[in-house]
Structure 1
Amino acid sequence: MESGKSSTKNHLHHSSDDSHGGKGESDKCCEGHEKSDTPKPLDIFQCVKVGFLSGVQQLVEEEGPAILVDFDDKGHTPVHWATLGGHTNILRFMVQCKVNLDLQSRNDLGPRPIHWACVNGHIAICDILLQAGVSIDTVDNKGCSPLIIACQYGQTMLAGYLMGKGARLQLTDREGDNALHWAAFKAGHCDLTRLLIYSGFNPRQKDNFGQTPLHLACINGDLNTVRMLCEQDGVEIDVEDHNHKTPVMLAKGRKHKDITSYLEKEIKQQKSIIPRIDCKTILFGPPGNSRAAFLFFVISTVFWGYPMYIFRCFPATFGMLPGLHIVFILNNVFMWYTFYNCYARDPGYLPRNSADYDMAIKKVAHFDEWKQGRNPLSKLCHTCRLVKPLRTKHCRVCNRCVIEFDHHCPYIYNCVGLKNRYYFAGFTTSAALMALITLYFAVILIKMEGWNALYGFGLLEAIFFGFVANMLCTCAWYMAAKNTNTNERINFARYDYLKDAQGHYYNPYDRGILNNMKEFFHLKPSLSEDEVLRARTYTV
């Protein structure tokens, strides 16, 4: 690696399969036994790994509570395996047996059970351990606290819980990396990084190698975190680490072109006295949010499609098909009207920095109040600092939370959400009709005048746009008829409100095609959150 650390492995030593109960060992522990006529004696480690409480209780009765702090051949205790698997019932039994719940594993890392609980984000397990007297800041042999381990594995809710319980923010591991350094290094955890900074972490703090969170985000290629650190926190972009490497140099070395382009523009802007006009960004969009598809549609239609229609198609075929030409022209007017509204309208952005966000963060410390009911942390967006209503998702391209988020469409250079979804349905429908009529015109012209390159290109363009538009049009109207959206259809397993009492897929918003279409066009109010939760609870 070009930075102070000799290789990326130095920043990954806690996330390997061998560390803190990683997947490598946990998978092996659950393997089935070979069939045998003679029943095998109970093994405390196997019983704990599979969550077999009665087996654990039987062994404790036979051999005493000391069996719960034995070490296996890997150097871990049954307490470690109970915390890794999230077996709260077994862990509570261990608490009743009054065994030591804070023993270190006998290996190089020396993790404690609470560290293993943090790997998989088991808040309930951590809560039991803390109530039993385990220190919230206990460290392993690498100096990693539970909060640092939680951030290594991207466990945002657990990190919020630990900070709410009073975890020390200033703790670092042996290499000087704190929880924020690790969150920035782990690509895709921009919300966790935002939460840590909001909670008091210094985004400019350097580790033992002179690297700031910005250095680490550049190493791992997380453009959203880089932009957040630069734009929201104003960190220094050209600061060098102990190897004299700046963030942009690290991004170049890792071939992260979007980050390199973004940082180079930021550096030039900071050094320039006169505000710089970036024509490339104006035309093609900022790094990570390209306008290429948007411009391809507009330019090919306006500067290729319409001249061909006006100068070749219209004169040759209007006498034969005057009605079709009128339909084509009116359809195009409607298409550009809906296209403009798709592009220019707010898709349903939620206001940032809500008071509910601050209230939810404060509730984290009082875990008992919400661990059995609604969990406010599961709905927090730490980038926008708000509590997300149901059906809301944070768009990584726009970097905003959108209510009833469907998807980010590159052809309209905007998200599709609650406030522009009907315009999008109208745009895709008119675009599909335009492509079909264009295809018909192209076939007519080829029959009349013979094959040539211009007509051939027009035919291929019509086929391409027709395929894309018809696919989007079909999806848009299907989603409207079922009162769902693309995000929910793809990611329904993530959302509890899309499951019935047995955990099967169930859409509480689907009230029949007529009512669904009324709601789609804002002629009927949507179900409230309480109505949705009641429907989920009582649906069998």
Structure 2
Amino acid sequence: QLDRMRNPQNHHGDSALIVAAWYGHERIVETLLTVRAEVNLTNRDGNSALNCAALQGHLRVVELLLDASAELEAPDMVTGKTALLKACYAGHVGVVNELLESGADPDAADTNGYTPLAFATSFGHHMTMQALLRHGACASSADLFGVTPLMLSSTRGDADAVAMLLQAEADVSAVDTDGRTAADYAESGDFWGILALMEEHAREVRGSGGGGGGGGCERERARGAAGGAVRDAARPGEHGR
């Protein structure tokens, strides 16, 4: 009976803590945690209070939940997004920094293979990209269709994102499952300035005797090797959000 009083849930499975976290009610969250509300309880979609606070950008609530030992890497049951993925999707750089400083995996991917960096790049969240790269995110991470952040920024014509990824040694030669490179994405959008950036980067790499990218993403290569069967079963074009 006492547990039900601490953790009441509505028809969607949202507990009082989840609702308070979603709306950013800091004092209510503090009170619920004081009476030992279950911090990792999830709703029917598998979202915890931390996932909800991260998506909504409520930094202080995120801090309170982390102090109460909220699980960092718990994915939801619909898309497989963790709190970090949700914060990157929404571009909440303060929350992103807090989660990374607390040990969140900067390369944790959702069910489509989308990483935090891919989400940040897709929506032009440059400060979020910088935070992820500072914390060791793989600049060449690929989704189930082989699409990398460099391809995503190239197809948007986002020169600032392209420059950032090139500086982080993103693999310019990477190809998606259709055999297209980032340069192909840029050319298809008539983003000639992006192509010029890539050509300049290639000249600099050749001049320095460098190998031209990859960013040392060992985990990414391992994930790519293991993802073939899933990729073959997925529908083309679902580069997922």
- TM-score, reference length from structure 2: 0.74
**What's the counterpart of residue 171 of structure 1?**
108
Q: Please give the alpha-carbon distance, in whole angstroms, between the structure 2 residues aligned to 1:84 and 1:270.
A: 43
Q: Please give the alpha-carbon distance, in whole angstroms, between the structure 1 residues aligned to 2:199 and 2:99.
A: 40
1:192 aligns with 2:135: no
1:72 aligns with 2:7: no
Shift of 1:68: 5.0
Q: Please give the alpha-carbon distance, in whole angstroms, between the structure 2 residues aligned to 1:102 and 1:219.
A: 38
RMSD value, Cα: 2.7
Q: Aligned pair in 2 of structure 1 residues 147, 93: CA closer, same or farther (>3 Å)?
A: same
Work out whether residues 238 and 267 of structure 1, in 8 Å CA contact, stay in contact via their aligned partners in 2: no
Question: Which secondary structure does the structure 2 equivalent of 1:136 belong to?
Answer: coil
Give a deviation string over 1:489-520, Cα, whole Å, max 9, x none: xxxxxxxxxxxxxxxxxxxxxxxxxxxxxxxx
Q: Aligned pair in 2 of structure 1 residues 65, 178: CA closer, same or farther (>3 Å)?
A: same
1:134 aligns with 2:64: no
1:247 aligns with 2:182: yes
Q: Please give the alpha-carbon distance, in whole angstroms, between the structure 1 residues aligned to 2:137 and 2:192.
A: 27
Shift of 1:156: 0.9
**What's the counterpart of residue 261 of structure 1?**
192
**What's the counterpart of residue 310 of structure 1?**
none
Unaligned runs of 5+ in 2: 204-241
Which letter maps to 1:241? Answer: D
Shift of 1:116: 0.6
Q: Please give the alpha-carbon distance, in whole angstroms, between the structure 1 residues aligned to 2:64 and 2:165.
A: 35
Q: Please give the alpha-carbon distance, in whole angstroms, between the structure 2 residues aligned to 1:267 and 1:127.
A: 40
Q: Please give the alpha-carbon distance, in whole angstroms, between the structure 2 residues aligned to 1:122 and 1:234.
A: 32
Q: Aligned pair in 2 of structure 1 residues 132, 237: CA closer, same or farther (>3 Å)?
A: same
1:274-285 to 2 correspondences below 5 Å: none
Which letter maps to 1:208? Answer: L
Give a deviation string over 1:158-188, Cα, whole Å, max 9, x none: 111111122223422222222112111122x
Work out whether residues 71 and 77 of structure 1, in 8 Å CA contact, stay in contact via their aligned partners in 2: yes
Q: Please give the alpha-carbon distance, in whole angstroms, between the structure 1 residues aligned to 2:64 and 2:202.
A: 53
Which of 11, 19, 27 is the aligned partner of 1:89? 27
Work out whether residues 157 and 194 of structure 2, in 8 Å CA contact, stay in contact via their aligned partners in 1: no
Which of 158, 163, 169 is the aligned partner of 1:227? 163
1:141-540 to 2 correspondences below 5 Å: 141=77, 142-187=79-124, 189-230=125-166, 232-253=167-188, 255=189, 257=190, 260-268=191-199
Give a deviation string over 1:270-319, Cα, whole Å, max 9, x none: 778xxxxxxxxxxxxxxxxxxxxxxxxxxxxxxxxxxxxxxxxxxxxxxx
Give a deviation string over 1:46-73, Cα, whole Å, max 9, x none: xxxxxxxxxxxxxxxxx96624533334
Work out whether residues 186 and 220 of structure 1, in 8 Å CA contact, stay in contact via their aligned partners in 2: no
Identity of aligned residues (%): 23
**What's the counterpart of residue 41 of structure 2?**
103
Which letter maps to 2:48? Answer: R
Shift of 1:249: 3.0
Work out whether residues 185 and 219 of structure 1, in 8 Å CA contact, stay in contact via their aligned partners in 2: no
Q: Please give the alpha-carbon distance, in whole angstroms, between the structure 2 residues aligned to 1:183 and 1:160.
A: 13
Work out whether residues 237 and 263 of structure 1, in 8 Å CA contact, stay in contact via their aligned partners in 2: no
Give a deviation string over 1:239-279, Cα, whole Å, max 9, x none: 211122222333455x4x4xx2123324555778xxxxxxx
Q: Aligned pair in 2 of structure 1 residues 120, 225: CA closer, same or farther (>3 Å)?
A: same
Corresponding pairs, count: 204
**What's the counterpart of residue 224 of structure 2?**
none
Unaligned runs of 5+ in 1: 1-62, 273-540
Higher RCO (CA 8 Å, separation ≥ 6 residues)? 2
**What's the counterpart of residue 50 of structure 2?**
114
Shift of 1:125: 0.9
